[in-house]
């Protein structure tokens, strides 16, 4: 490749190469040649022209003014002339005027420029000047402080050096020379490089010989025997060469110690207080199987033994020290030493029951009774010793006699009385209880026990005596009421309870104590007593601390008490609270509501009917009529009584929207359409309600009179323009009549009506209408507009994604779904749809992501169950579908999937249970369920039949 010099053309006039970047030419002495140096003035005059002239010969020196300019003395730009703040001392770009021969005076413009720059420099210097000066002072102070701290070594040790003048010459000469550490380290490194060989000691050879042999070492302290290879590991490695030779005497001693330890261990392991059972055949095998303490544990025992010995020596009157010492020996397996220590303690502490109890525990069974007999003779008032002595007796008669002797010494101890009574028959127990109540008249437990053993008449006498001795004990009064209830004297129960509440009102008995007595009475089956206690204490102990309404305070306390009783499963107590609260305030709807709720959850059908009837008669409100009519119709199936209740309610509340709608629904379900038409026609003229007018239209649709339905809905829309359901009904009627364009115009008109265009249901139904006409482009446009208006609505996004799936636009549906999850990241419906669209290999991974976004969504749980359904994992399917139903019982789709599961994997009983629970729940929402229930032809179809129909048509994962 040939390089060609570029041709830039002729240079412009006055052009000097490199002049703009300061690259001016220079000359040397050799370039001058024979030319003469021009005078200074000529150089100044000829500078402009000479600079542009180029010598024809490159080696020829410049002439004229240029040669004079090059001879000017150069500036000093060395580092010694450089300052960080002001830069170089000279002019970087050109020589000074004086050195260049310019001797003229600066003009006014130059002076003005210098002044401006001086003022700028002064201003810049004044900025942060104070801060710079303070910082400079701090630095100077710090430097001076460091200098003061770092004194010269000569000055630092100046006072010490003065004492060197007193050192004699002999002392100087006796000072050792400083070691040459550098040379020594060099020698050590050189010696390490040289490989040295040393003779092997005999001990190493001997240990190598022992490595190939096995040695048995016995520790006489612990009795441990272990076979160690080579004897070089564990504690055997500490043995010196003396162990290498076998000493038969020491070996015999070690074996004797081992056998003694095993025998002691076997004796200590026997059950204390019982005759040890010896296995004659396997005795030696049992001994060999015994485990012994390690060396560390033995050392611990030695330390504990020495410590406790010191405690006993320093404080011989400490019983706990003696007991601890005995227990250490017991833990070490030296049971006899433990007995010896505790025997010595019994001699030192004749009146300490803990010492005697420990001695009884450690003593052999044949000596325990005698020891305890001696102990109780020394301490006849010790309850623990008497009880222990009785428990050591195997014969019940002897045990009882021991306790009777104890009662002679300690007649006021209730525990001994209870122990004695428990060993007696009923007649003896009765006699003992009479003595016990005389000895301990303030024991409620003994009085009540005696009353239970006595006849009715005697029990009344006993309880009266108990009340005399314990007048402030409310439990005796309640037991007296229970006694009367057991005899059927219900009237006497109320008298006793009311009397007890009046007498004990001055004592410090809280409301909670009476409630506990009521709960206790319910648990014992004394329901009359329970109700009497609640009736007598309804306003007991309730104080208005907040200064509010007395009625509100009472209601709050009653409801709290009832909830607490329900939590304890005391349903009858809670029922009594509600009963008496309603009796006091029969017009309080909240009390009726909680009472009805209690009976619906825990009561029978008859109880529900009774409470609802009472509510209807007391309040005469629409809620009571509707609740009672629904119960009679759904639970009891009595159509005639239901009609009677509804007509009674209609007479009582002729302008009630709820009563009218319930009555017409009842007539329609019984296919009495003429009565329903009459009711709705009359209601439309009397009640201006959009719901009433809508049901009138729906009734016409149900009987097939679509023209009349269209007429009624158009009239209703004029009155209730903002009620979106009327617009949807009109569009559906027009579509059913085949007037598709009119239906489309209705939807358009609805989306332009204020109060209707904000409803997502209208947009989604309009899109569904267009999908039904296969106008996917129009449906897509409608949903796009809906997403603009309601960007955070999950239902709109779900409809948009499903539209693209129907249109076979899988890629677009996935993109839309991603956008939807960005807008609604916690939507269970969107995550469920996302899992449905995922390939089978990645579904489980997406399940985890979905659960992180939403932990409790019914639709999501159904989608997860479908994932496990593919793998036929029955228990997991049931778990997730059950969670879906529990999460939202109003989701009909979840019920349909659960029923499908029971149809496929369950039994007939489980299927029946699902249908029964579904019937009681009566769900109305879901993704697919409303499409079944809202079809006119399905309005009178049984809900369970519809659910089975939907369950059969479920598809797990539709391939898209």
* 423 three-class SS: coil
Burial class (CB in 10 A: 0-12, 13-18, 19+), 129: exposed
Q: Quick one: DSSP state of residue 506?
A: G
Strand duo 225-229 + 87-88: pairing? unpaired
What is the per-residue pLDDT for 308? 79
- How high is the pLDDT of residue 488? 87
Distance CA 716, CA 710 (A): 10
C-beta separation of 525 from 570 below 8 A = no
Beta bridge partners of 83: 87
In a domain, 225, yes or no: no
Residue 14 CA, distance from chain mean position: 87
DSSP secondary structure letters along 851-883: HHH-SS-HHHHHHHHHHHHHTT-HHHHHHHHHH
Helix (H) or strand (E) holding 360: helix 353-362
871 is in which domain, residue-wise?
Answer: 850-934+941-960
E strand or H helix at 629, and its extent? Answer: helix 622-630
Number of neighbours of residue 322 by Cβ within 10 angstroms: 25
CB neighbour class for 861 (10 Å; exposed up to 12, middle 13-18, buried from 19): buried
**CB 948: neighbour CB atoms within 10 A?**
17
Q: Give CA–CA dist 656/687, Å, rounded.
A: 8
Phi and psi based region of residue 677 (left: phi greater than 0; alpha: psi -120 to 50; beta: remaining): alpha
Q: Is 702 within 8 Å of 676 (Cβ atoms)? A: no
Taking every pair of C-alpha atoms in the chain, what is the biggest distance, in angstroms? 162
- pLDDT score for 407: 83
How far is it, in rounded angstroms, from Cα 694 to Cα 710?
A: 11
Tell me the C-alpha distance between 525 and 656, whole Å: 45
pLDDT digits (tens, 9 = 90+) for 558-608: 999 999 999 999 999 999 999 999 999 999 989 999 999 999 999 999 999
**Contacts with 131 (C-beta within 8 Å, 6 or more apart), sequence order:** none
Residue 824 lies in a domain: no
Place of tokens 């001879």: 71
Query: What residues in the chain have per-residue pLDDT under 70?
Result: 1-6, 22-106, 149-157, 178-198, 207-299, 544-548, 957-960
Rounded CA-CA distance 73/261 in Å is 113
Going by C-alpha positions, the residue among 421, 427, 460 that lies closest to residue 440 is 421
Name every residue whose Cβ is closer than 8 Å to that of residue 914 and which is 6 or more positions away in sequence.
895, 898, 899, 902
Partner residues linked to 215 by β-bridges:
228
Q: Which residue carries 């017409």 as its tokens?
A: 664
The answer to whether residue 891 sits within a structural domain is yes
Instruction: Answer whether 256's CB lies under 8 Å from 246's CB.
Output: no
Please list, in sequence order, all residues whose beta carbon lies within 8 angstroms of the beta carbon of residue 233, skipping any fewer than 6 positions away. Answer: none
**Token reading at 639:** 């159509």
DSSP state at residue 634: I
Q: What is the DSSP string of 445-462?
A: HHHHHHHHHS-HHHHHHH
Which of 707, 735, 754 marks a domain boundary? 754
- Please give the Cα distance from 218 to 250 (Å, whole number): 9
Angstrom distance (rounded) from CA 765 to CA 771 = 10
| End position of a domain, from candidates 703, 735, 754 | 754
* Helix axes 444-453 and 414-422, enclosed angle (nearest 10): 20
In a domain, 551, yes or no: no
Packing angle of the helix pair 724-736, 690-702 (nearest 10 deg): 20
- Residue 49 pLDDT: 41
* Structure tokens belonging to residue 259: 């056998």
Spatial contact of 716 and 726, defined as CB atoms under 8 Å apart: yes
Q: By C-alpha distance, which of 883, 362, 151, 468 is closest to 480?
A: 468
CATH of the domain at 891: 1.25.40
CA 406/CA 448 separation, integer angstroms = 24
Phi/psi-derived region of residue 787, left when phi > 0, alpha when psi is between -120 and 50, beta in every other case: alpha
Selection from 686, 135, 862, 897 nearest residue 678 by Cα: 686
Q: And the tokens for 173? A: 């000469």
Q: Is residue 885 a part of any domain in this protein?
A: yes
Residues paired with 82 in a beta bridge:
88
- Predicted TM-score (pTM) of this structure: 0.59
pLDDT value of residue 167: 81
CATH number (domain holding residue 739): 1.25.40.10
Q: Distances from the Cα of 934 to the Cαs of 686, 726, 771, in angstroms?
A: 28, 14, 18
In terms of DSSP H, where are the helices of 269-318? 283-288, 295-314
**Closest listed residue to residue 531, CA positions, set 487, 567, 498, 569:** 498
Given 708, 725, 754, which residue is the final one in a domain? 754
Distances (CA, A) of 684 to 675, 695, 696: 14, 10, 8
Distance CA 735, CA 948 (A): 28
Query: What is the structure's pLDDT at 287?
Result: 41
Residue 395 DSSP code: S
What are phi and psi for residue 217, nearest 5 degrees?
A: -115, 130
Q: Could you tell me the CA-to-CA distances from 201 to 206, 207, 233, 236 in Å, in that order?
A: 9, 10, 21, 21
| CB-CB contact of 374 with 389 (8 Å) | no
Residue whose structure tokens are 């401006």: 116
Q: Tell me which residue of 381, 427, 388 sits closest to 406, measured CA to CA.
A: 381
Whether the CA torsion 59, 63, 66, 70 is positive or negative: it is: positive
Strand partners, 891: 925
Strand, coil or helix: what is 215? strand
Both tokens of residue 529? Answer: 């007593």
Does residue 950 lie in a domain region? yes
Residue 663 lies in a domain: no
Q: Specify if 959 maps to a domain.
A: yes
Q: Residue 447 is encoded by which pair of tokens?
A: 């009085």
Q: What is the pLDDT of residue 150?
A: 65
* Spatial CA neighbour of 829 closest among 884, 758, 769: 884
Provide the domain count of the chain: 2
Report pLDDT digits (tens) over 512-555.
Answer: 989 999 999 999 899 999 999 999 999 888 876 655 678 888 99
């Amino acid at each position: 490749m040939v390089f060609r010099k570029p041709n830039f053309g002729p240079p412009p006039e006055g052009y000097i190469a490199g002049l703009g970047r300061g690259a001016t030419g220079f000359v040397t002495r050799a370039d001058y040649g024979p030319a003469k140096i021009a005078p200074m003035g000529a150089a100044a005059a000829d500078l402009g022209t000479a600079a542009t002239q180029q010598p024809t010969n490159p080696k020829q020196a410049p002439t004229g003014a240029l040669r004079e300019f090059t001879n000017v003395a150069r500036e000093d730009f060395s580092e010694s002339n450089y300052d960080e703040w002001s830069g170089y001392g000279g002019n970087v770009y050109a020589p000074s005027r004086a050195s260049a021969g310019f001797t003229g005076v600066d003009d006014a413009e130059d002076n003005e420029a210098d002044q401006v720059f001086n003022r700028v420099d002064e201003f810049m210097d004044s900025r942060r000047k104070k801060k710079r000066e303070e910082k400079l002072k701090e630095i100077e102070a710090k430097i001076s402080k460091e200098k003061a701290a770092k004194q010269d070594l000569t000055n630092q040790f100046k006072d010490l050096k003065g004492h060197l003048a007193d050192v004699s010459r002999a002392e100087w000469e006796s000072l050792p020379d400083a070691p040459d550490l550098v040379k020594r380290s060099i020698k050590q490194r050189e010696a390490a490089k040289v490989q040295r060989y040393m003779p092997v000691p005999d001990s190493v050879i001997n240990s190598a010989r022992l490595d190939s042999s096995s040695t048995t070492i016995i520790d006489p302290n612990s009795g441990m025997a272990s076979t160690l290879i080579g004897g070089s590991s564990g504690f055997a490695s500490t043995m010196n060469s003396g162990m290498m030779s076998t000493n038969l005497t020491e070996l015999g001693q070690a074996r004797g110690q081992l056998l003694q330890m095993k025998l002691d261990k076997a004796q200590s392991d026997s059950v204390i207080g019982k005759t040890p059972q010896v296995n004659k055949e396997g005795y030696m095998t049992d001994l060999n199987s015994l485990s012994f303490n390690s060396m560390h544990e033995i050392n611990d025992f030695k330390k504990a033994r020495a410590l406790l010995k010191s405690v006993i020596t320093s404080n011989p009157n400490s019983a706990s020290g003696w007991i601890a010492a005995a227990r250490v020996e017991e833990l070490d397996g030296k049971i006899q030493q433990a007995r010896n220590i505790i025997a010595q303690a019994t001699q030192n502490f004749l009146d300490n029951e803990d010492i005697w109890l420990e001695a009884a525990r450690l003593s052999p069974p044949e000596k325990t009774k005698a020891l305890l007999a001696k102990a109780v003779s020394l301490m006849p008032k010790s309850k623990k010793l008497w009880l222990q002595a009785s428990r050591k007796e195997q014969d019940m008669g002897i045990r009882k006699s021991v306790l009777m002797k104890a009662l002679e010494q300690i007649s006021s101890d209730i525990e001994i009385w209870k122990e004695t009574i428990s060993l007696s028959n009923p007649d003896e127990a009765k006699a003992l209880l009479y003595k016990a109540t005389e000895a301990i008249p303030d024991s409620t437990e003994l009085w009540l026990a005696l009353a239970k053993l006595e006849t009715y008449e005697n029990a009344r006498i006993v309880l009266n005596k108990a009340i005399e001795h314990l007048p402030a004990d409310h439990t005796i009064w309640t037991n007296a009421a229970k006694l009367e209830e057991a005899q059927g004297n219900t009237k006497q129960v109320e008298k006793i309870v009311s009397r007890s509440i009046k007498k004990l009102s001055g004592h410090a008995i809280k409301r909670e104590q009476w409630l506990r007595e009521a709960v206790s009475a319910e648990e014992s089956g004394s329901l009359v007593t329970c109700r009497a206690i609640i009736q007598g204490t309804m306003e007991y102990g309730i104080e208005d601390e907040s200064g509010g309404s007395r009625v509100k305070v009472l209601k709050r306390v009653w409801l709290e008490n009832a909830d607490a009783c329900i939590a304890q499963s005391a349903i009858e107590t809670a029922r009594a609270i509600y009963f008496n609260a309603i009796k006091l305030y029969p017009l309080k709807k909240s009390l009726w509501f909680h009472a009805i709720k209690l009976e619906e959850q825990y009561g029978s059908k008859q109880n529900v009917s009774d409470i609802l009837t009472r509510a209807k008669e007391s309040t005469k409100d629409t809620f009571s009529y509707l609740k009672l009519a629904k119960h009679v119709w759904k639970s009891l199936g009595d159509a005639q009584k239901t009609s009677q209740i509804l007509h009674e309610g209609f007479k009582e509340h002729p302008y009630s929207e709820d009563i009218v709608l319930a009555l017409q629904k009842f007539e329609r379900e019984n296919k009495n359409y003429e009565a329903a038409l009459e009711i709705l026609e009359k209601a439309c003229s009397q009640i201006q309600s959009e719901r009433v007018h809508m049901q009138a239209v729906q009734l016409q649709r149900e009987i097939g009179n679509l023209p009349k339905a269209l007429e009624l809905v158009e009239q209703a829309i004029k009155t209730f323009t903002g009620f979106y359901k009327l617009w949807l009904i009109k569009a559906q009627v027009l579509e059913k009549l085949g007037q598709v364009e009119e239906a489309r115009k209705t939807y358009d008109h609805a989306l332009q009506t204020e109060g209707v265009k904000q409803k997502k249901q209208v947009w989604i139904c309009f899109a569904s209408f267009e999908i039904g006409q296969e106008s996917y482009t129009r449906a897509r446009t409608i949903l796009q507009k809906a997403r603009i208006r309601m960007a955070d609505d999950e239902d709109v996004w779900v409809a948009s994604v499903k539209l693209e799936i129907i249109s076979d636009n899988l890629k677009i549906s996935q993109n839309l779904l991603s956008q939807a999850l960005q807008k609604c990241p916690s939507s269970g419906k969107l995550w469920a749809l996302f899992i449905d669209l995922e390939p089978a290999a990645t579904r489980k991974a997406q399940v985890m992501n979905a659960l992180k976004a939403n932990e409790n969504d019914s639709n999501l749980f159904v989608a997860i169950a479908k994932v496990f359904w593919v793998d036929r994992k029955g228990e997991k399917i049931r778990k997730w579908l059950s969670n879906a139903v529990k999460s939202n019982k109003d989701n009909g789709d979840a019920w349909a999937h659960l029923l499908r599961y029971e149809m496929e994997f369950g039994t007939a009983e489980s299927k029946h249970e699902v249908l029964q629970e579904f019937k009681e729940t009566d769900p109305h929402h879901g993704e697919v369920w409303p499409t079944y229930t809202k079809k006119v032809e399905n309005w009178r179809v049984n809900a369970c039949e519809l659910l089975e129909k939907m369950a059969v048509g479920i598809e797990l994962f539709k391939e898209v």
